[in-house]
Amino acid sequence: MDGVADGPVDGPVDGPVDGPVDGRPAGVWGQVARPGFLRSSAPWRAAAYLLTTGVTGLLLCGGLLVAGVAAGVLAVLLVGLPLLAALALVGLPVAAWERRLVRLVADAPVPDPHLVPDRPGLAAWLRLRYRERATWRELGFALLAACVLWPIDLTVAGFALAVPGYLLAALPMLLLDGEQVNVLKLWQVHSPVVAGLFGLAGLLLAPLLGYPLAAVAAARAALVRLVLAPGGQDRRIGELVRSRARLVDAFEAERRRIERDLHDGAQQRLAALRMTLGLARLDAPPDGPLAARLAEAHREAGEVLSELRELINGIHPQVLTDRGLPDACADAGDRSPIPVTTRFALPGRLPAPVESAGYFAVAEALANVAKHSGASAVTVDGRYAGGRLTIEVADDGRGGADPSGGSGLTGLADRVAVVDGTLTVSSPPGGPTLVRVEIPCTPAQAPAPSAAPADGGAGR
């Protein structure tokens, strides 16, 4: 499952707002009904918005025509096929530009609907973009802007600005010419009085045209929001992904806190208690009942301390924090009752949630092998390639592992799914069994100069 882009605001506003937002002027549509609309910057912002989108659409129309013809001609020689594929992504920059422009006339920004690739690199980015519905919606909007919207934008903005301008300029142009002036190419005016009346009409018409200008700009911004903003389902999915990531981080932090408290608190006190009991045994008469009771208490304290250490290791092993996934898995293999060989080839430390999920997947798989497989040897192979951590746990047991049979594989799959990973199991009757875990991730840091792939030996 792909990750989601982090940027969109929580709960975007789908309609205009009457009041200021974050110190910006109120949206154009929200100001139309206000008494001071004509004195505000709203009409000018609407005009600037329509002029900019109109010019952008005109340039886009020319560019698409040239690129489409070139790609069609070159496609015969197969050279134009990459250009045709690239044209499918032309909506991405156009949509990004439109989402920025809409701030001129709307309060709430338009969120970016695109997901974040689960791995770095151009190939992963292209693969994700071609699969997204948002990419094709943006391509459709780019074609709409290039073929339909820009003439409307320029016509409305030009009419609202040019007609009052021509009328206001009638008298000055007549005075400069001295004989006549053609007003809007419709009327020939020879009298300064008539030219002055045209100027007065332009002065009265200019503010009235601000209302339809603002209405068209607001309608176009609403169209941008309708087509280019993430839909309700996309927003819910994005919020679910972000909330799940926050829960994973919070869970990991809490688990580490519990591990630290147990390690620095209860474990240290139990170790001190065991030491005190050992010293008390030295002072007690060797053949008396007190010595026997102290010996029993000393042994019980040792067992409790061992169990606590196992509990701490199960919560979050310190070796995983200090030395990373390969050494933590090698340590888990050393504690297995079945001989385990571990081999890892990683480019460095991975993100903490990924290392934790990988380690506990290996630990759970080893526990399943010990309980159910009857195997005599286990191999753990880990590698990083193509933006994915892959861990394979293979045993030579009897096979027949069934996730629905309560073997712990369902819980293992749930644990891996939290970090967008996948679990596959191959376990035919008679064996062998192979458990593969794949987690998309990016290395958290580069390897040290002396780092080498971890190659753990067999456990006991």
Average pLDDT, the chain: 76
Task: Write down which residue in 289, 316, 343 finishes a domain.
Answer: 316
Instruction: Kindly state whether residues 36 and 166 are assigned to the same domain.
Output: yes
pTM above 0.85, yes or no: no
Cis peptide before 93 (omega within 30 of 0): no
Q: Is residue 403 part of a domain?
A: yes
Same domain for 187 and 38? yes
pLDDT tens track for 166-218 = 677 666 766 676 666 666 666 666 667 676 676 677 777 777 777 888 888 88
CATH number, domain of 336, equals 3.30.565.10
- Per the domain annotation, does 278 fall within a domain? yes
Query: Mean pLDDT over residues 238-257, rounded?
Result: 62
In the block, tokens 């910057």 appear at 41
Residue 276 pLDDT: 82
User: If pLDDT is split at 50, 70 and 90, which confidence band does 454 have?
Assistant: very low
Q: Which residue has the higher pLDDT, 310 or 103?
A: 103
- Give yes or no: residues 289 and 322 share one domain: no
pLDDT score of 10: 38
DSSP string of 333-397?
HHTSSS-EEEEEE-SSPPPHHHHHHHHHHHHHHHHHIIIII--S-EEEEEEEETTEEEEEEEE-S
Are residue 143 and residue 159 in the same domain, yes or no?
yes
- Cα gap 417→438, rounded to integer Å: 10
Are 176 and 253 found together in one domain? no
- Sequence-distant (≥ 6) Cβ neighbours of residue 144 within 8 angstroms: none
Q: Clarify whether residues 136 and 13 are in a common domain.
A: yes
Q: Between 22 and 249, where is the model more confident?
A: 249
Q: Is 323 within the bounds of a domain?
A: yes
Using the 3D structure, point to which of 201, 230, 259 is the last residue of a domain: 230
Is residue 243 a part of any domain in this protein?
no
Total number of domains in the chain = 3
- What pLDDT digit, counting tens, does each position of 298-320 carry? 778 777 777 666 666 556 677 88
Residue 14, pLDDT score? 38
Domain holding 455, by residue range, is: 318-460
**Do 258 and 406 have their domain in common?**
no
| Domain end call among 301, 316, 331 | 316
Residue showing tokens 């060989």: 341
pLDDT of residue 376: 87
Provide mean pLDDT across the span 381-388: 88
Q: In this predicted model, which residue has the larger pLDDT, 284 or 175?
A: 284
